[in-house]
Amino acid sequence: MDALKSKYLEGIMAAGDESTLEDLRVAAVGKKGEISLKMRELGKMTPEERQVAGPALNALKDEVNSAIAGKKTALADAALNERLQSEWIDVSLSGRPRRQGTIHPISQVTDEVVAIFASLGFGVAEGPQIENDHYNFDALNIAPEHPARQEHDTFYMHRAADDDRPPHVLRTHTSPVQIRHMEKHGAPCRIICPGRVYRADYDQTHTPMFHQYEGLCIDKGISMANLKWTLEEFCRAFFEVDDVELRFRASHFPFTEPSAEVDIRCSWDKGQLKIGEGDDWMEILGSGMVHPKVLQAGGIDPNEWQGFAFGMGIDRIAMLKYGIPDLRAFFDSDLRWLRHYGFASLDMPNLHGGISR
Give mean pLDDT, residues 283-299: 93
Tens-place pLDDT, residues 71-82: 889 988 888 888
Residue 219 bridge partners (DSSP): 306
Tell me 345's DSSP state: T
Q: Is the pLDDT of residue 204 over 80?
A: no
Establish whether the linkage from the previous residue to 258 is cis, with ω within 30° of 0: yes
pLDDT at 334: 86
Give mean pLDDT, residues 142-170: 82
Provide the mean pLDDT of the chain: 87
pLDDT band at residue 301 under the 50/70/90 scheme:
very high
Amino acid identity at 301 = D
pLDDT band at residue 225 under the 50/70/90 scheme:
very high
Q: Is the pLDDT of residue 353 over 60?
A: no
Q: Is the pLDDT of residue 180 over 90?
A: yes
Cβ count near 88 (within 10 Å): 8
Q: CA–CA separation, 91 vs 95, rounded Å? A: 9
Tens-place pLDDT, residues 37-70: 888 888 888 888 888 888 888 888 888 889 888 8
pLDDT at 130: 93
The alpha carbon of 196 is separated from its chain's Cα centroid by a whole number of angstroms, namely 12
Q: Which helix (H) or strand (E) holds 311?
A: strand 306-313
Give the chain's end-to-end CA distance (angstroms, integer): 81
pLDDT: which is higher, 290 or 22: 290
Pick the closest to residue 141 from 224, 215, 228, 252 (CA basis).
252
64-68's contacts with Cβ under 8 Å and 24+ in sequence apart are: 64/5, 64/8, 64/9, 64/12, 64/25, 64/28, 64/29, 64/35, 65/29, 67/8, 67/9, 67/12, 67/13, 68/12, 68/21, 68/24, 68/25
Which segments of 90-188 are extended strands (E)? Answer: 102-103, 123-124, 130-132, 168-170
Contact 127, 195 (CB under 8 A): yes
Pick the closest to residue 111 from 302, 280, 296, 314 (CA basis).
314
Residues 6+ apart with CB under 8 A from 335: none
Q: CA–CA separation, 23 vs 27, rounded Å? A: 6
Q: Is the pLDDT of residue 100 over 80?
A: no
CA atoms within 13 A on the CB side of 306: 14
DSSP-derived 3-state class of residue 214: strand
To the nearest 10°, report the CA torsion of 66, 71, 72, 78.
150
pLDDT at 34: 85
Tens-place pLDDT, residues 189-203: 999 999 999 988 776
Contact 171, 131 (CB under 8 A): yes
Q: What is the pTM of this model?
A: 0.67
CA atoms within 13 A on the CB side of 211: 22
pLDDT band at residue 92 under the 50/70/90 scheme:
confident
